[in-house]
Structure 1
């Protein structure tokens, strides 16, 4: 993972940055080129990647010095926060209050926290404003709606079986929204809204991976009685889920929940068990559940002895995603969530991450992908970067010489 992070961070802050960020605005911040996902999420992922590499001594300076990489990184962190609507009145450059913007703020917030000593008081304040503003929106929701009392709901399927968003699980959205709250709470535990953030954080985390069976019985997680609070579910009882209209293994990679232990670990606190609710079940579905194969018979999603992945109903994103699975494997192994699977997560991690390193070895600049058939997401390199960064940071927190800094709690 250290090797993967070193390669990808070198590419992202080197040639990728140089080709994209070619001008500054009159106020001294970068021209991000817009206010959409491509313009804000991608530099946010780059920022987490490079901040982690620099902070933990992983950065490879063969093509760009550490000092110059730091200058570029700080440009990204400061610009993203400054352009958030809590700090920016210019409607042509401001972003925020959107479906995915909690995730963008989370990425920039993590990067800023890692590099806090290099930020001015003014820029720190802008990061705080961004995080608090996005957190405030999320605390207005209830047990049905993500925000307020209308609009986006927390579940693909309601308690009565009604499909709210057929074929489109809300797992991903709920997890990134919970992540924003967890980060804001970890950074600002004495804030007047901290109690509200904490409550909503746990609610969104547990709803993300709720299954039909959770709606029965008397189980509680972090003080939430599942059968009475949950109003629907996002995954099936067998640990699978749907996205883009079909069973989609890429969205069964619920690494965002496990990163909660990482963020809490930076603050010296424990992550709520709600953030890993049903994760072991979902991992088991990747490793051991049998699905029909095109030539007859059945196959598991993970291919025994191989990095190859079987997509039972196809994959609209491409053909090569070893880092996505390898990062998840490593997290599952670190937190001991593979006790029920036939082959340990560490075995899968090596298969998948060796393939990831082989993909990077094709390119002298450290990037992963070649043609769009491998991965057609426009943030594919940044996605590899942020997975490698957060997974390596988690590994460091678990295995550093001072002892394991991560833990989980049901309080």
Structure 2
């Protein structure tokens, strides 16, 4: 593999032109995709972001530490050999085997490309080789490029999200990939995007029967205690990335339309089922056939009112930077009901077990109140700090007091306190702090996307987060 020099501090470099195309294996859509369908990011038209503002310093430190851990000690402990075809051994095709390296790749690719990578324990050149290994292997093993059922992944309940992480990392790393690797990346992303445009456009996602709504408009609860908001907005993320990366692809119009539909379905509340409001050309009261959140902005997941899934609307807000990287406006649908949900975090009060009430965000502290408990663990400050930042940058905290910027500081300072306990950049210690096996990778993926949002919002050429 080539030796690649470290990138200059905090400035994006130009991407090389795309190379030739190779036909992908047959997919669910009618048109295949290859590397020459991808529009490289025009870094030369973007400015820079020094990251010297207070929020920028916090997010930079989180991204630098997390990416250093993931592409350093974590990678070295998991990927110990190359296979005969030159790819690393992913050791499976399930979520642990695919999603975790995809999130690690996104964290590392973002840090390396933006100059925020910390090389104190692994050089940028070696980190680049490892990051490329993750991206090229994940894309090559997707079923769009791989006929072996023992080693291929894709077309599953959550695989659109895994493809999103991989493709975004690869797009940032485009100049580091060869022609075959670019082809694999495009084919993978198009496959997953095409799959999400099939099936009933109102009730279902794909042929597998996954619901768009927890509650139908007639009041029937289809999936008790299990909002479909998170699934809808991670599927929308994949569609948005495909449409932005491959704007001239024959299926781009379908991807664009389905993205808007899923964004609206994700945040639909009962109030949306009446009236004449239109967003991105869709009349909510007639198109929506159900809801995923309550009118007060709360939602349920894991059979409880769950704040961690309320802040999962971060995936909708990330569309601002995805479109902004090609100087396009993101759909207004991505902002739908964000203010409503954020108000429920900050202003709405809930009963305490011993009497009295408390909001989810407790005054002047990073502590989070979970009204019905949290089944994922005890320490999640960056999940909230990340969402606070996005809400602040997109001005979705209008009328909410305190404003999102105050909460971002409190929550992200608490995140940095967690990281300060270790020297290798990780966040978590005891398993009880966060029981998800991809807990470190989730921090890295959020930090990457938070940083990219800051880069577009506070760019030297002006704020490039726009909504149409």
TM-score bucket (shorter structure): over 0.9
SS in 1 for 2:358: strand
2:314 counterpart residue number: 255
- Determine the C-alpha separation between the residues in 1 that align with 2:327 and 2:98: 29
Pair 1:42-2:94 in alignment? no
SS in 2 for 1:319: coil
2:350 counterpart residue number: 291
2:247 counterpart residue number: 189
1:11 counterpart residue number: 69
Pair 1:408-2:445 in alignment? no
- Determine the C-alpha separation between the residues in 2 that align with 1:196 and 1:342: 39
**How much does 1:377 deviate?**
0.3
SS in 2 for 1:305: coil
**How much does 1:406 deviate?**
1.6
**How much does 1:297 deviate?**
0.8
Q: Residue 119 of structure 1: which of 169, 173, 177 is its match?
A: 177
- Determine the C-alpha separation between the residues in 2 that align with 1:89 and 1:336: 46
1:169-224: CA deviation from partner (whole Å, max 9, x where unpaired): 00000000000000000001011111111111100111000001101111111001
**How much does 1:370 deviate?**
0.3
**How much does 1:273 deviate?**
0.9
- Determine the C-alpha separation between the residues in 2 that align with 1:145 and 1:161: 17
SS in 2 for 1:267: coil
2:296 counterpart residue number: 238
Pair 1:205-2:263 in alignment? yes
Pair 1:315-2:374 in alignment? yes
1:20 counterpart residue number: 78
- Determine the C-alpha separation between the residues in 2 that align with 1:131 and 1:387: 20
Pair 1:160-2:218 in alignment? yes
TM-score normalised per structure 1: 0.98
Pair 1:365-2:401 in alignment? no
2:365 counterpart residue number: 306
SS in 2 for 1:73: helix
- Determine the C-alpha separation between the residues in 2 that align with 1:58 and 1:12: 14
SS in 1 for 2:243: helix
1:383 counterpart residue number: 442
**How much does 1:147 deviate?**
1.1
SS in 2 for 1:271: coil
Q: After TM superposition, list the pairs within 5 Å mapping 1:330-369 onto structure 2.
A: 330-369=389-428
- Determine the C-alpha separation between the residues in 2 that align with 1:333 and 1:72: 34
2:40 counterpart residue number: none
SS in 1 for 2:318: helix
Q: Runs of 4+ in structure 1 displaced over 4 angstroms? A: none
- Determine the C-alpha separation between the residues in 1 that align with 2:365 and 2:419: 18
**How much does 1:394 deviate?**
0.4
**How much does 1:294 deviate?**
1.3
Pair 1:170-2:228 in alignment? yes
1:57 counterpart residue number: 115
Q: Which runs of 5+ in 2 are unaligned?
A: 1-58
- Determine the C-alpha separation between the residues in 2 that align with 1:266 and 1:35: 31
CA RMSD of aligned residues (A): 0.7
1:374 counterpart residue number: 433
2:135 counterpart residue number: 77
- Determine the C-alpha separation between the residues in 1 that align with 2:300 and 2:258: 25
**How much does 1:24 deviate?**
1.6
- Determine the C-alpha separation between the residues in 1 that align with 2:277 and 2:440: 40
1:218-243: CA deviation from partner (whole Å, max 9, x where unpaired): 11110011111100000000000000
Q: Residue 329 of structure 2: which of 270, 274, 286 is its match?
A: 270
1:64-113: CA deviation from partner (whole Å, max 9, x where unpaired): 00000000000000000000000001111100000000000000010000
1:140 counterpart residue number: 198
Count of paired positions: 408
- Determine the C-alpha separation between the residues in 2 that align with 1:125 and 1:395: 30
SS in 1 for 2:400: coil
**How much does 1:407 deviate?**
0.5
SS in 1 for 2:90: coil
Q: After TM superposition, list the pairs within 5 Å mapping 1:92-107 onto structure 2.
A: 92-107=150-165
Q: Which runs of 5+ in 1 are unaligned?
A: none
- Determine the C-alpha separation between the residues in 2 that align with 1:388 and 1:244: 25
SS in 2 for 1:291: strand
- Determine the C-alpha separation between the residues in 1 that align with 2:466 and 2:164: 21
